[in-house]
Structure 1
Amino acid sequence: MINNKVLAIILGGGQGSRLYPLTATRSKPAVPIAGKYRLVDIPISNCINSEIKRMFVLTQFNSASLNRHIKNTYHFSFFSSAFVDVLAAEQTPGNKTWFQGTADAVRQNMHHFLTHDFDYFLILSGDQLYQMDYELMVEAHIKSGAKISIATIPVSAKDATEFGIMKADKSNIVQSFIEKPDASLLPEWTSEVSTEMKSQGRHYLASMGIYIFDRTLLTELMQNPDTNDFGKEIIPQSIAKHKTLSYQYEGYWTDIGNIDSFFEANIGLTDNIPKFDLYDRKKRIYTRARMLPTTKISGTVLEHTVVSEGCLISAAKIERSVIGIRSRIGNDSHVINTYMMGSDKYETLDEISSNKIEILMGIGERCYIKNAILDKNCRIGDDVRINGGKHLENKETDMYFIKEGIVVIKKGAVIPKGYVI
């Protein structure tokens, strides 16, 4: 079987500064999405659905919560070779530095990978939202006789300037590569795409940051200590020397690179027919199995809203919002265009009745929350008004962060009663 020939490497990314403050205390793959999942659940689930069940996750920043999530989530049979292991950057006698880039992260961990029996490396990103059958990509790689395969997605001229663009021939073999080309160069960089993609004006093949390498080739390439990044160095330098396949993917795919794209990806789940389908039985997204009670909703109007398990909701109205696990929302509150991540635990009746907690976890009564991200374990007092939008300037305080009009309430922040943003 093909899956026994593949070892998956999921790259956790760097410090995740563009997703700050969501990455202030956690690594990028550990950021909660869709109310109950973590970003790392996406590539891991894609691997499991593709029958690829040997995975390493590489990370170096704030990896404790990621370690905990993976340890509590992905349990395989004792009689199986399947595993998901986290490898954090470590200093060794032979190497005193942290990861210098995606390729360097793989290089520093090659001694862990090569103890396993496999023929192909599958290199994945830990911060993308998509559902893909990697087995089909591996089959195409083998059939083509390529040494490297790159997953590509057709994009329009407007988007092409933000990506690494491949130029492929009619056999989908990559001929050349350019990083974030100027708009004036684009006419020379069109490739053959499907009729549907042509009708949408998507003529350019953008790299998705998903690669397959023959084991022997990548082992050889990793001998060069001067190449630290796949997208900027390894791929551009290898195309002319090694047969490289462009594997075209036409489904939904988005790079969760900044607060704006993260916000839009989550709010997009509230659409009537979301582009990212959490309900496809053949493409399930797996996560930690929590034994939470059902959600209780009292007197609330719900409009295009996703509600996770274990919530206690008495709001007046929730519209186009994603409500995470164990969320509490008080009477007469309005929540609009908001991603509320929820809480890690419930406050007990004894804690609440003791009057030691002035502001309960969750959203209080008579609040108005719009265009916001509420990180885990926030406490929003009664009568708080948060009205995000382009009218707000970028700003940071101890309690919140504003970027491109989106108000991000920091993890564990306490917003006093009557506060206005």
Structure 2
Amino acid sequence: MTKILSVVLGGGKGSRLYPLTKERAKPAVPFGGKFRLVDIPISNCINSGFRNIFVLTQFNTASLHFHISSTYRFDTFSGGFVEVLAAEQTFDNDDWYMGTADAVRKNAFHFHSQEPTHYMILSGDQLYRMDLQDFFKKHMESGADVTIAATPVNRKNADQLGILQLDNKGYINSFLEKPGPDKNIDEYKIPALRKKTDAIPEHKDYLASMGIYIFNAEALDKGLDNDFADFGKEVIPMMINKSRVRAHVYKGYWEDIGTIRNFFESNLNLATPRPFFNLYDMEYPIYTHRRDLPPSKVNSCHFHRALASEGSIINGESVVDSLVGVRSFIHRGATLDHVYIMGADLYETTRDKEINKAIGRPNLGIGPGTQVRKAIIDKSVRIGQDCRIGIDDNYRADFEAEHYYIRDGIIIIPKKAIIPDGTVI
């Protein structure tokens, strides 16, 4: 009998997604209008029949704990669990996770109590839809100790990824971590026979690690019997020399959404006529917290290449190339162009709005006549009337102010921020 434990690596501080990670763990960052980043790997596991899932994290875990505990509840007949393991002090360890491998090592005693035969290691900040059952089947058939999911890439995209060197049988001879744009990596090109066998497109000459691994339980224990902190930089290169490490070629859509630019562009792409990642695939749905919200109400607005999540009230002028999150409020005459507004956690009552007026505070959402372009609006933000955000192109690519941030040329209004009437950013 086989027993597979799925381990989702939630990452550390999530500095590349800051300020979206200022008050929440990276896996808890809202995605796609109604989901969280952690829903992607968990849904892939559930859809593939793997229901024993741990999520490892260590920063700002409260909202992640709430999301997982209120979303993933398996009945006693089907079995399974989704459990968050935050960094903890024990008699053996009293420090933080030092890297991906260190996080798994420090939780080994939790895993061993489950008596797994295999581990599936997944990343918490990637966008993909993958048949993990097929991935595991190929691992078992190959007789490998470790199998690494790999995606074909061109030379430009290989810069910041771990590149694999294969033989004609699919085994990995060498691993090169983030070669950069200038290094000659021709020796890492996919062999012609391998390229033909796997039907890899001609313009993609390299295989990059997706950060998704299957380990035989014994192989993982041996691979972690050291002080190495990271899988990609240290454990995998070491195991290539000592174990049978194989690549599983995945040719579907895969994107690292751990940076502000990738996160922003991946979200907006969901609203295009033919998105790279299809939210409407009911054979492989993305699961998330059930909210029981009413349908969105559009009183007046021009929508073009846009998605509106449930529970929103929209009175704006136009919403173009944008995502509207749950319980979003877009007031009269407001315009959104290339914007992801994450919505709100609650509705304001008439009494709340009277208090707002008395103290000069804007209501939740996008105020009347406000224009917003190329921005991420975090949860429960209050933007006043007649503001101009991102409309003028003379702002810096990276900047930090009291009520907003700019990262990669994208304006970010952090959670619960208040932007007064007439503000220009």
Going from structure 1 to structure 2, the CA distance change for 1:83 and 1:389 (only over 3 Å counts) comes to farther
| Aligned counterparts, 1:4-403, within 5 A | 5-182=3-180, 183-191=182-190, 192-194=194-196, 197-199=200-202, 201-224=203-226, 226-354=227-355, 355-356=357-358, 358-387=361-390, 391-393=394-396, 394-403=398-407
Name the amino acid aligned to 1:323: V
Contact 2:8 2:123 in 1 (8 A): yes
Task: Return the alpha-carbon distance in structure 1 between the equivalents of residues 189 and 392 of structure 2.
Answer: 37
| Structure 1 residue 117: Cα displacement | 3.2
392-401 or 375-384, which deviates more: 392-401
1:283/1:390 CA distance change after superposition, 3 Å: farther
User: CA shift at 1:179, angstroms?
Assistant: 1.3
Question: 1:388·1:405 contact (CA, 8 Å) conserved in 2?
Answer: no
The answer as to whether partners of 1:391 and 1:405 remain within 8 angstroms in 2 is no
Q: Which moved more, 1:66-75 or 1:393-402?
A: 393-402
Q: Which amino acid aligns with 1:361?
A: L
* Unmatched runs of 5 consecutive residues or more in structure 2: none
Identity %: 46
The structure 2 residue matched to 1:414, chosen from 410, 414, 418, is 418
| Cα distance in 1 for residues equivalent to 2:393 and 2:260 | 14
Secondary structure at the aligned position of 2:64 is classed as helix
Task: Indicate conservation of the 8 Å contact 1:42/1:128, yes or no.
Answer: yes
Rounded to whole Å, the distance in 2 between the matches of 1:184 and 1:289 is: 48
Question: Aligned-pair distance for 1:54?
Answer: 0.3
Q: Distance in 1 between matches of 2:207 and 2:393?
A: 32
Distance 2:417 2:386 in 1: 16
Q: Aligned partners of 2:125, 2:161: CA distance in 1, in Å? A: 16
Shift in alpha-carbon separation, 1:233–1:406, aligned structure 2, 3 A: same
Asked whether the equivalents of residues 390 and 405 of structure 1 are also in contact (C-alpha less than 8 Å), the reply is no
Q: Is the 8 A contact 2:371 2:391 kept in 1?
A: no
Q: Please list the CA deviations of residues 380-404 of structure 1 after superposition, one character each: whole Å capped at 9, or x if unmatched.
A: 0010110168642121112100112
Shift of 1:352: 1.7
How far residue 256 of structure 1 moved from its aligned partner, in angstroms, is 1.3
The secondary structure found in structure 1 opposite 2:93 is: coil
Q: What letter is aligned with 1:415?
A: I
CA distance in 1, matches of 2:296, 2:76: 35
Structure 1 residue 356: Cα displacement: 4.2
Distance 1:241 1:34 in 2: 42
Q: CA deviation at 1:258?
A: 1.1
Matched-pair contact (CA < 8 Å) for 1:320–1:336: yes
Distance in 2, Cα, partners of 1:211 & 1:350: 53
Say if 1:381 and 1:417, in contact at 8 Å, map to a contact too: yes
Q: Give 1:85 shift.
A: 0.3
What amino acid is aligned across from residue 376 of structure 1 in structure 2? K
Task: For 2:341 and 2:48, locate their aligned partners in 1 and report how far apart those are by CA, in whole Å.
Answer: 31
Q: Under a length normalisation based on structure 2, what TM-score does the superposition of the two structures give?
A: 0.95
Asked if 1 retains the 8 angstrom alpha-carbon contact of 2:171 and 2:245, the reply is: yes
How far 1:269 moved relative to its partner?
0.6
Q: What code does the residue aligned with 1:97 have?
A: D
Displacement after TM superposition at 1:350 (Å) = 2.3
Letter in 2 for 1:254: E
Instruction: Report the Cα offset of residue 332 of structure 1.
Output: 0.9
Structure 1 residue 80 displacement after superposition: 3.7
Distance 1:278 1:172 in 2: 32
Find the aligned partners of 1:391 and 1:269 in 2 and give their Cα distance. Answer: 28
Q: 1:297 to 1:76 in 2, by over 3 A?
A: same
CA distance in structure 2 between the aligned counterparts of 1:49 and 1:84, rounded to whole angstroms: 14
The alignment of Structure 1 onto Structure 2 pairs a total of residues equal to 417
Write out per-residue CA displacement over residues 226-247 of structure 1, whole angstroms, 9 at most, x where no aligned residue.
Answer: 1111001000111011111100
Instruction: Provide Cα deviations, 1:288-317, integer angstroms capped at 9, x if missing partner.
Output: 011101111012110000100000000011
Contact 1:388 1:407 (8 Å CA) reproduced = no
State how far apart, in whole Å, the 1-side matches of 2:79 and 2:114 are. 10
